[in-house]
Amino acid sequence: MEDLRLTERLVGTDEVKIQARGVNVYYGESHAIKDVDVDILDKTVTAFIGPSGCGKSTFLRCLNRMNDTIDNCRVTGSIRLDGQDIYDRSVDPVQLRAQVGMVFQKPNPFPKSIYDNVAYGPRIHGLARSKADLDEIVEKSLRRAALWNEAKDRLDQPGTGLSGGQQQRLCIARAIATSPEVLLMDEPCSALDPIATAQVEELIDELRANFSVVIVTHSMQQAARVSQRTAFFHLGNLVEYGETGQVFTNPRDPRTESYITGRIG
Amino acid sequence: MADIDIAAGGWTSEASRENVRRRRRGELWLKAAGLVAITIAFAMLLTLLASLVITGFRAFTQTHVTLQVTLPPGDETPSFRAATRGAIEALFEGADEAQKREASRILSSGAQYIIESHVAANPDLIGQTFSIRVPVSDPYDQLAKGLIDRETPEALRRVSDAGIAAFDRLSEAGLISRPFNTALFVNADSRFPELAGLKGAIIGSFYALLTCFLISFPIGIGAAIYLEEFARKNRLSDFIEININNLAAVPSVVFGLLALAVFLNWFGLPRGAPFVGGLTLALMTLPTIIIATRAALKAVPPSIREAALGVGASKQQVVFHHVLPLAMPGILTGTIIGLAQALGETAPLLLIGMNAFITAAPSTPFDSATALPTQIFIWADSPERGFVSRTSAAILVLLGFLVLMNALAIYLRNRFERRW
DSSP string of A10-76? --S---EEEEEEEEEEEETTEEEEEEEEEEEETT-EEEEE-STTSSHHHHHHHTTTGGGGSTTEEEE
How many whole angstroms separate alpha carbon B87 and alpha carbon B35?
62
Question: Contact at 8 Å (CB) between A218 and A190?
Answer: yes
CA proximity to B124, closest of B164, B71, B169, B87 = B71
| pLDDT tens sequence across B372-405 | 999 999 999 988 888 999 999 999 999 999 999 9
Instruction: Return the number of other C-beta atoms located less than 10 Å from residue B237's C-beta.
Output: 14
User: Which residues from chain A sit within 8 angstroms of residue B306, using beta carbons?
Assistant: 66, 102, 104, 108
B308 in reach of chain A (CB within 8 A): yes
Q: What is the CATH number of domain A2-111+188-260?
A: 3.40.50.300
Q: First and final CA of chain B: distance in angstroms? A: 47
- Dihedral sign (CA B388, B390, B393, B394): negative
Structural domain spans, chain B: 59-180, 199-416
| Mean pLDDT computed over every residue of chain B | 89
In this complex, do B310 and A102 lie within 8 Å of one another by their Cβ atoms?
yes
DSSP for B308-355?
HHHTT--HHHIIIIIIHHHHHHHHHHHHHHHHHHHHT--HHHHHTTTT
Question: Contact at 8 Å (CB) between B9 and B16?
Answer: yes
DSSP for A63-124?
TTTGGGGSTTEEEEEEEEETTEETTSTT--HHHHHHHEEEE-SS----SSBHHHHHHHHHHH
Residue A68 has pLDDT above 90, yes or no: no
Question: Contact at 8 Å (CB) between A33 and A153?
Answer: no
Buried b (16+ CB within 10 A) or exposed e, A98-127: bbbbbbbbbbbbbbbbbbbbbbbbbbbbeb
| pLDDT tens sequence across A4-51 | 444 445 555 578 889 999 999 999 888 989 999 999 998 899 999 998
Residues making up chain A, counted from first to last: 265
In this complex, do A121 and B311 lie within 8 Å of one another by their Cβ atoms?
yes
A62, A64, A69, best to mutate vs chain B, most B CBs in 10 Å: A69
In this complex, do A95 and B419 lie within 8 Å of one another by their Cβ atoms?
no
How many whole angstroms separate alpha carbon A76 and alpha carbon A35?
9
> Given phi > 0 = left and psi -120 to 50 = alpha, else beta, which region is A3?
alpha
Q: What is the pLDDT of residue A262?
A: 81
Q: What is the CA B115 to chain-centroid distance, rounded?
A: 31
B324 in reach of chain A (CB within 8 A): no
How many whole angstroms separate alpha carbon A60 and alpha carbon A28?
19
Interface of B with A in 98-157 (CB under 8 A): none
B85 band by pLDDT with thresholds 50, 70 and 90: confident
A190 in reach of chain B (CB within 8 A): no
| pLDDT tens sequence across B330-372 | 999 999 999 999 999 999 999 999 988 888 889 999 999 999 9
Q: What is the CATH number of domain B199-416?
A: 1.10.3720.10
B311, B314, B417, B419, best to mutate vs chain A, most A CBs in 10 Å: B311
In this complex, do A66 and B307 lie within 8 Å of one another by their Cβ atoms?
no
How many whole angstroms separate alpha carbon A157 and alpha carbon B141?
63
Phi then psi dihedrals of residue B141, to 5 deg:
-65, -45
The single-letter DSSP state of residue B107 is B
CA distances (Å), origin A118, targets A108, A149, A168, B348, B376: 12, 15, 12, 52, 57
B9 band by pLDDT with thresholds 50, 70 and 90: low
A40-44, B37-41, B148-152: segment of lowest average pLDDT: B148-152
Q: Name, in order, each residue with C-beta under 8 angstroms of B137's C-beta and a sequence gap of 6 or more.
A: B105, B106, B107, B108, B109, B192, B194
Q: How distant is the Cα of B413 from the closest Cα of chain A, in angstroms?
A: 16
